A = this chain, B = another copy of it.
Amino acid sequence: MSAFVGKYAEELIKNAKYIATPGKGILAADESTGTIGKRLSSINVENIESNRQALRELLFTSPNALSCLSGVILFEETLYQKTSDGKPFVEILEENNVIPGIKVDKGTVEIAGTNGETTTQGFDSLGARCQQYYKAGARFAKWRAVLKIGPNEPSELAIQQNAQGLARYAIICQENGLVPIVEPEVLTDGPHDIKKCAAVTETVLAAVYKALNDHHVLLEGTLLKPNMVTPGSDSPKVAPEVIAQYTVTALRRTVPPAVPGIVFLSGGQSEEEATQNLDAMNKLEVLKPWTLSFSFGRALQQSTLKTWAGKKANVGKAQEAFLSRCKANSEATLGKYSRGSAGGLASESLFVKGYKY
Protein backbone atom coordinates (compact mmCIF):
# COMPACT_ATOMS: atom_id res chain seq x y z
CA MET A 1 0.00 0.00 0.00
CA SER A 2 1.22 3.51 0.66
CA ALA A 3 4.56 4.50 2.10
CA PHE A 4 5.63 3.46 5.59
CA VAL A 5 5.86 6.67 7.57
CA GLY A 6 7.79 5.81 10.71
CA LYS A 7 9.41 7.95 13.40
CA TYR A 8 12.28 8.99 11.14
CA ALA A 9 10.14 10.11 8.19
CA GLU A 10 10.70 13.86 8.49
CA GLU A 11 14.41 13.43 9.12
CA LEU A 12 14.78 11.10 6.15
CA ILE A 13 13.03 13.59 3.86
CA LYS A 14 15.17 16.45 5.18
CA ASN A 15 18.43 14.55 4.79
CA ALA A 16 17.64 13.20 1.35
CA LYS A 17 16.77 16.71 0.22
CA TYR A 18 19.97 18.10 1.67
CA ILE A 19 22.13 15.50 -0.03
CA ALA A 20 20.41 16.51 -3.28
CA THR A 21 21.43 20.18 -2.86
CA PRO A 22 22.30 21.63 -6.28
CA GLY A 23 26.04 22.24 -6.52
CA LYS A 24 26.90 19.37 -4.20
CA GLY A 25 27.37 15.65 -4.52
CA ILE A 26 28.72 12.55 -2.85
CA LEU A 27 32.23 11.20 -2.48
CA ALA A 28 32.06 7.42 -2.53
CA ALA A 29 34.95 6.55 -0.24
CA ASP A 30 33.45 3.22 0.86
CA GLU A 31 35.91 0.86 -0.78
CA SER A 32 36.04 -2.34 1.23
CA THR A 33 39.39 -3.42 2.65
CA GLY A 34 39.99 -5.72 -0.31
CA THR A 35 39.06 -3.11 -2.89
CA ILE A 36 41.06 -0.29 -1.35
CA GLY A 37 43.95 -2.74 -1.35
CA LYS A 38 43.85 -2.79 -5.14
CA ARG A 39 43.89 1.00 -5.26
CA LEU A 40 46.80 1.22 -2.84
CA SER A 41 48.79 -1.44 -4.63
CA SER A 42 48.39 0.48 -7.89
CA ILE A 43 50.48 3.22 -6.28
CA ASN A 44 52.74 0.77 -4.46
CA VAL A 45 51.35 1.48 -1.02
CA GLU A 46 50.88 -1.29 1.53
CA ASN A 47 47.31 -2.16 2.49
CA ILE A 48 47.51 -1.55 6.23
CA GLU A 49 45.12 0.37 8.43
CA SER A 50 47.36 3.40 8.85
CA ASN A 51 47.62 3.84 5.09
CA ARG A 52 43.88 3.47 4.64
CA GLN A 53 43.46 6.04 7.38
CA ALA A 54 46.03 8.35 5.79
CA LEU A 55 44.29 8.30 2.43
CA ARG A 56 40.88 9.16 3.90
CA GLU A 57 42.39 11.86 6.11
CA LEU A 58 43.96 13.38 3.00
CA LEU A 59 40.55 13.50 1.35
CA PHE A 60 38.50 14.73 4.31
CA THR A 61 40.91 17.51 5.26
CA SER A 62 41.40 18.83 1.72
CA PRO A 63 40.90 22.60 2.08
CA ASN A 64 37.59 23.73 0.55
CA ALA A 65 36.79 20.37 -0.99
CA LEU A 66 34.10 19.50 1.51
CA SER A 67 32.02 22.50 0.48
CA CYS A 68 31.41 20.70 -2.85
CA LEU A 69 30.09 17.65 -1.05
CA SER A 70 26.78 16.95 0.69
CA GLY A 71 27.72 13.41 1.68
CA VAL A 72 30.55 10.90 1.92
CA ILE A 73 29.97 7.15 1.87
CA LEU A 74 32.22 5.30 4.28
CA PHE A 75 33.25 1.71 4.79
CA GLU A 76 32.59 0.43 8.30
CA GLU A 77 36.21 0.68 9.40
CA THR A 78 36.40 4.31 8.34
CA LEU A 79 33.25 5.29 10.24
CA TYR A 80 35.20 4.76 13.45
CA GLN A 81 38.56 6.18 12.37
CA LYS A 82 40.15 9.49 13.41
CA THR A 83 42.69 11.93 12.03
CA SER A 84 46.31 11.72 13.21
CA ASP A 85 45.31 14.47 15.68
CA GLY A 86 42.67 12.18 17.13
CA LYS A 87 39.59 13.84 15.67
CA PRO A 88 36.89 11.46 14.49
CA PHE A 89 36.34 11.59 10.73
CA VAL A 90 32.60 11.76 11.35
CA GLU A 91 33.08 14.98 13.31
CA ILE A 92 35.11 16.63 10.55
CA LEU A 93 32.40 15.80 8.05
CA GLU A 94 29.57 17.00 10.28
CA GLU A 95 31.37 20.28 11.07
CA ASN A 96 31.60 20.88 7.34
CA ASN A 97 27.93 20.06 6.65
CA VAL A 98 28.79 16.81 4.96
CA ILE A 99 26.50 13.94 5.92
CA PRO A 100 28.30 10.67 6.73
CA GLY A 101 26.95 7.61 4.96
CA ILE A 102 27.74 3.92 5.30
CA LYS A 103 28.04 1.01 2.88
CA VAL A 104 25.88 -1.74 4.34
CA ASP A 105 25.96 -4.50 1.73
CA LYS A 106 28.32 -7.45 1.94
CA GLY A 107 29.14 -7.86 -1.70
CA THR A 108 27.63 -9.98 -4.43
CA VAL A 109 27.25 -13.72 -4.88
CA GLU A 110 26.38 -15.61 -8.04
CA ILE A 111 22.87 -16.84 -8.64
CA ALA A 112 22.95 -20.54 -9.46
CA GLY A 113 21.55 -21.45 -12.84
CA THR A 114 22.31 -18.09 -14.37
CA ASN A 115 25.21 -17.09 -16.57
CA GLY A 116 27.24 -15.36 -13.89
CA GLU A 117 24.47 -13.05 -12.73
CA THR A 118 24.60 -11.95 -9.10
CA THR A 119 22.54 -10.90 -6.16
CA THR A 120 23.71 -8.85 -3.17
CA GLN A 121 24.02 -10.11 0.39
CA GLY A 122 24.01 -8.28 3.70
CA PHE A 123 20.53 -8.75 5.17
CA ASP A 124 21.48 -10.59 8.33
CA SER A 125 21.06 -8.25 11.29
CA LEU A 126 20.84 -5.38 8.83
CA GLY A 127 18.37 -3.50 11.03
CA ALA A 128 20.55 -3.82 14.10
CA ARG A 129 23.63 -2.79 12.14
CA CYS A 130 21.82 0.27 10.79
CA GLN A 131 20.94 1.27 14.34
CA GLN A 132 24.59 1.06 15.32
CA TYR A 133 25.66 3.09 12.32
CA TYR A 134 23.02 5.71 13.14
CA LYS A 135 24.45 5.96 16.68
CA ALA A 136 27.91 6.42 15.17
CA GLY A 137 26.67 9.38 13.12
CA ALA A 138 25.68 7.87 9.77
CA ARG A 139 22.50 9.26 8.24
CA PHE A 140 22.44 7.50 4.87
CA ALA A 141 23.38 4.10 3.52
CA LYS A 142 24.35 2.50 0.28
CA TRP A 143 23.74 -0.97 -1.17
CA ARG A 144 25.02 -1.94 -4.58
CA ALA A 145 23.01 -4.29 -6.81
CA VAL A 146 24.58 -5.39 -10.09
CA LEU A 147 23.05 -6.40 -13.41
CA LYS A 148 24.90 -7.27 -16.57
CA ILE A 149 23.99 -7.11 -20.25
CA GLY A 150 24.38 -10.21 -22.36
CA PRO A 151 22.47 -12.21 -24.99
CA ASN A 152 20.11 -13.49 -22.29
CA GLU A 153 20.95 -11.01 -19.56
CA PRO A 154 19.75 -9.52 -17.43
CA SER A 155 17.34 -12.37 -16.78
CA GLU A 156 13.97 -11.76 -15.19
CA LEU A 157 15.24 -13.69 -12.15
CA ALA A 158 18.26 -11.45 -11.72
CA ILE A 159 16.18 -8.31 -12.18
CA GLN A 160 13.62 -9.46 -9.61
CA GLN A 161 16.19 -10.64 -7.08
CA ASN A 162 18.09 -7.39 -7.23
CA ALA A 163 15.01 -5.16 -7.27
CA GLN A 164 13.51 -7.00 -4.29
CA GLY A 165 16.84 -6.88 -2.49
CA LEU A 166 17.14 -3.13 -2.98
CA ALA A 167 13.58 -2.60 -1.76
CA ARG A 168 14.04 -4.74 1.34
CA TYR A 169 17.33 -2.99 2.16
CA ALA A 170 15.67 0.38 1.63
CA ILE A 171 12.78 -0.13 4.02
CA ILE A 172 15.07 -1.55 6.73
CA CYS A 173 17.24 1.56 6.42
CA GLN A 174 14.24 3.85 6.72
CA GLU A 175 13.01 1.99 9.80
CA ASN A 176 16.36 2.85 11.37
CA GLY A 177 16.85 6.46 10.32
CA LEU A 178 19.16 6.01 7.35
CA VAL A 179 18.31 7.42 3.90
CA PRO A 180 18.83 4.50 1.53
CA ILE A 181 20.74 5.19 -1.66
CA VAL A 182 19.27 2.73 -4.15
CA GLU A 183 21.99 1.56 -6.54
CA PRO A 184 20.98 -0.76 -9.42
CA GLU A 185 24.16 -0.75 -11.49
CA VAL A 186 23.92 -2.03 -15.05
CA LEU A 187 27.51 -2.87 -15.97
CA THR A 188 29.16 -1.36 -19.04
CA ASP A 189 30.92 -4.60 -20.01
CA GLY A 190 29.99 -5.78 -23.50
CA PRO A 191 29.76 -4.96 -27.19
CA HIS A 192 26.22 -3.62 -27.03
CA ASP A 193 25.25 -0.14 -28.21
CA ILE A 194 23.76 2.72 -26.21
CA LYS A 195 20.19 1.80 -27.19
CA LYS A 196 20.59 -1.59 -25.61
CA CYS A 197 21.93 -0.04 -22.43
CA ALA A 198 18.96 2.36 -22.44
CA ALA A 199 16.46 -0.44 -22.83
CA VAL A 200 17.97 -2.51 -20.05
CA THR A 201 18.33 0.48 -17.73
CA GLU A 202 14.67 1.40 -18.22
CA THR A 203 13.52 -2.15 -17.58
CA VAL A 204 15.64 -2.41 -14.45
CA LEU A 205 14.55 0.96 -13.06
CA ALA A 206 10.88 0.17 -13.69
CA ALA A 207 11.29 -3.07 -11.73
CA VAL A 208 13.12 -1.26 -8.94
CA TYR A 209 10.41 1.36 -8.47
CA LYS A 210 7.67 -1.25 -8.54
CA ALA A 211 9.53 -3.17 -5.83
CA LEU A 212 10.06 -0.02 -3.74
CA ASN A 213 6.32 0.63 -3.92
CA ASP A 214 5.55 -2.99 -2.96
CA HIS A 215 7.78 -2.66 0.10
CA HIS A 216 6.24 0.67 1.22
CA VAL A 217 9.45 2.64 0.80
CA LEU A 218 9.02 6.41 1.27
CA LEU A 219 10.46 7.71 -2.00
CA GLU A 220 10.87 11.25 -0.66
CA GLY A 221 13.42 9.78 1.77
CA THR A 222 15.55 7.95 -0.79
CA LEU A 223 18.13 8.72 -3.47
CA LEU A 224 18.86 6.85 -6.68
CA LYS A 225 22.39 5.90 -7.76
CA PRO A 226 22.14 4.57 -11.30
CA ASN A 227 24.59 4.03 -14.10
CA MET A 228 24.65 6.59 -16.87
CA VAL A 229 23.33 5.23 -20.14
CA THR A 230 26.37 4.63 -22.35
CA PRO A 231 27.54 2.29 -25.09
CA GLY A 232 29.12 -0.96 -23.96
CA SER A 233 32.82 -1.02 -23.15
CA ASP A 234 33.59 -2.81 -26.42
CA SER A 235 31.55 -0.39 -28.47
CA PRO A 236 32.57 2.98 -29.97
CA LYS A 237 32.20 5.94 -27.64
CA VAL A 238 29.54 8.61 -28.13
CA ALA A 239 29.49 12.30 -27.22
CA PRO A 240 28.41 13.54 -23.77
CA GLU A 241 25.31 15.10 -25.30
CA VAL A 242 24.18 11.72 -26.58
CA ILE A 243 24.83 10.07 -23.24
CA ALA A 244 22.91 12.89 -21.59
CA GLN A 245 19.93 12.47 -23.92
CA TYR A 246 19.60 8.71 -23.44
CA THR A 247 20.23 8.87 -19.71
CA VAL A 248 17.74 11.63 -18.95
CA THR A 249 15.12 10.01 -21.20
CA ALA A 250 15.51 6.71 -19.35
CA LEU A 251 15.16 8.43 -16.00
CA ARG A 252 12.16 10.51 -17.11
CA ARG A 253 10.43 7.28 -18.11
CA THR A 254 10.96 5.49 -14.81
CA VAL A 255 11.84 7.67 -11.81
CA PRO A 256 8.87 9.29 -10.05
CA PRO A 257 9.19 12.99 -9.13
CA ALA A 258 8.98 12.18 -5.41
CA VAL A 259 12.64 11.09 -5.53
CA PRO A 260 14.60 14.24 -4.63
CA GLY A 261 17.92 13.42 -6.22
CA ILE A 262 19.79 11.16 -8.58
CA VAL A 263 23.51 10.67 -7.89
CA PHE A 264 25.27 8.83 -10.70
CA LEU A 265 27.94 6.21 -10.32
CA SER A 266 30.93 6.66 -12.57
CA GLY A 267 31.64 2.99 -13.35
CA GLY A 268 34.76 2.76 -15.48
CA GLN A 269 34.59 6.29 -16.86
CA SER A 270 37.61 8.57 -16.58
CA GLU A 271 37.35 11.56 -14.24
CA GLU A 272 36.89 13.91 -17.18
CA GLU A 273 34.32 11.76 -19.00
CA ALA A 274 32.19 11.40 -15.90
CA THR A 275 32.22 15.15 -15.28
CA GLN A 276 31.44 16.02 -18.90
CA ASN A 277 28.55 13.59 -19.04
CA LEU A 278 27.08 14.90 -15.81
CA ASP A 279 27.47 18.47 -17.07
CA ALA A 280 25.77 17.64 -20.38
CA MET A 281 22.80 16.18 -18.51
CA ASN A 282 22.38 19.31 -16.46
CA LYS A 283 22.64 21.47 -19.58
CA LEU A 284 19.88 19.47 -21.27
CA GLU A 285 16.78 21.60 -21.65
CA VAL A 286 14.08 19.25 -20.54
CA LEU A 287 12.16 19.11 -17.27
CA LYS A 288 13.92 17.10 -14.59
CA PRO A 289 12.01 16.97 -11.29
CA TRP A 290 15.01 15.47 -9.40
CA THR A 291 18.50 16.92 -9.16
CA LEU A 292 21.25 15.20 -11.16
CA SER A 293 24.51 14.89 -9.28
CA PHE A 294 27.41 12.55 -8.57
CA SER A 295 28.34 9.75 -6.22
CA PHE A 296 31.80 9.11 -7.58
CA GLY A 297 34.54 6.87 -6.24
CA ARG A 298 37.28 6.39 -8.75
CA ALA A 299 36.18 9.39 -10.82
CA LEU A 300 36.90 11.69 -7.88
CA GLN A 301 39.98 9.99 -6.45
CA GLN A 302 42.05 8.66 -9.32
CA SER A 303 44.31 11.69 -9.90
CA THR A 304 44.48 12.32 -6.19
CA LEU A 305 45.68 8.80 -5.53
CA LYS A 306 48.39 8.95 -8.17
CA THR A 307 49.57 12.35 -7.05
CA TRP A 308 49.77 11.21 -3.41
CA ALA A 309 51.58 7.94 -4.18
CA GLY A 310 51.57 7.28 -0.45
CA LYS A 311 54.07 10.07 0.33
CA LYS A 312 53.44 12.69 3.00
CA ALA A 313 55.31 15.26 0.94
CA ASN A 314 52.71 14.93 -1.82
CA VAL A 315 49.66 15.45 0.39
CA GLY A 316 49.25 19.13 -0.46
CA LYS A 317 49.39 18.57 -4.22
CA ALA A 318 47.14 15.56 -3.93
CA GLN A 319 44.58 17.62 -2.05
CA GLU A 320 44.70 20.22 -4.80
CA ALA A 321 43.97 17.52 -7.35
CA PHE A 322 41.06 16.35 -5.24
CA LEU A 323 39.66 19.86 -4.87
CA SER A 324 39.97 20.30 -8.62
CA ARG A 325 37.77 17.27 -9.33
CA CYS A 326 35.29 18.24 -6.60
CA LYS A 327 34.89 21.71 -8.08
CA ALA A 328 34.58 20.36 -11.61
CA ASN A 329 31.77 18.04 -10.58
CA SER A 330 30.09 20.68 -8.47
CA GLU A 331 29.98 22.89 -11.56
CA ALA A 332 28.71 19.96 -13.61
CA THR A 333 25.71 19.56 -11.31
CA LEU A 334 24.79 23.10 -12.27
CA GLY A 335 25.50 22.61 -15.97
CA LYS A 336 28.33 25.13 -15.63
CA TYR A 337 31.42 23.06 -16.29
CA SER A 338 33.91 24.38 -18.83
CA ARG A 339 35.62 21.41 -20.36
CA GLY A 340 39.17 20.33 -20.08
CA SER A 341 40.01 21.77 -16.70
CA ALA A 342 41.85 18.55 -16.13
CA GLY A 343 45.23 17.17 -16.92
CA GLY A 344 46.20 13.93 -18.57
CA LEU A 345 45.47 11.92 -15.46
CA ALA A 346 41.85 12.97 -15.46
CA SER A 347 41.25 11.52 -18.91
CA GLU A 348 42.55 8.07 -18.06
CA SER A 349 39.90 5.44 -18.43
CA LEU A 350 39.10 3.63 -15.23
CA PHE A 351 37.35 0.74 -16.94
CA VAL A 352 38.30 -2.70 -15.75
CA LYS A 353 36.57 -5.63 -17.44
CA GLY A 354 34.41 -7.69 -15.12
CA TYR A 355 35.35 -5.34 -12.28
CA LYS A 356 34.80 -6.91 -8.90
CA TYR A 357 34.48 -4.59 -5.94
Chain A interfacial positions (CB closer than 8 Å to B) = 1-3, 195, 198-200, 202-203, 206-207, 209-210, 213-214, 219-220, 249-250, 252-258, 287-289
Contacts and interface: CB of A to CB of B under 8 A. Distances in A.
A186 to B, nearest CB: 12
Contacts of A2: 195, 198-199, 202-203, 250
Given A210-B207, A210-B210, A213-B206, A257 B199 contact: no
Copies in the complex: 2
Contacts of A249: 258
A257 B288 CA distance: 8
A94 B147 CA distance: 48
A160 to B, nearest CB: 12
Contacts of A219: 253
A29 to B, nearest CB: 31
14 contacts: A1-B200, A1-B202, A1-B203, A2-B202, A2-B203, A3-B202, A203-B213, A207-B210, A209-B210, A210-B210, A213-B254, A220-B253, A254-B256, A287-B289
Nearest to A212: B206
Nearest to A249: B258
Contacts of A207: 210
Contacts of A209: 206, 209-210
Given A1-B200, A206-B213, A257-B289, 15 more contacts: A1-B199, A1-B203, A2-B195, A2-B202, A206-B209, A206-B210, A206-B214, A207-B210, A219-B253, A252-B256, A252-B289, A253-B256, A256-B256, A257-B288, A289-B289
Given A1-B199, A1-B202, A287 B210 contact: no
A276 B202 CA distance: 37
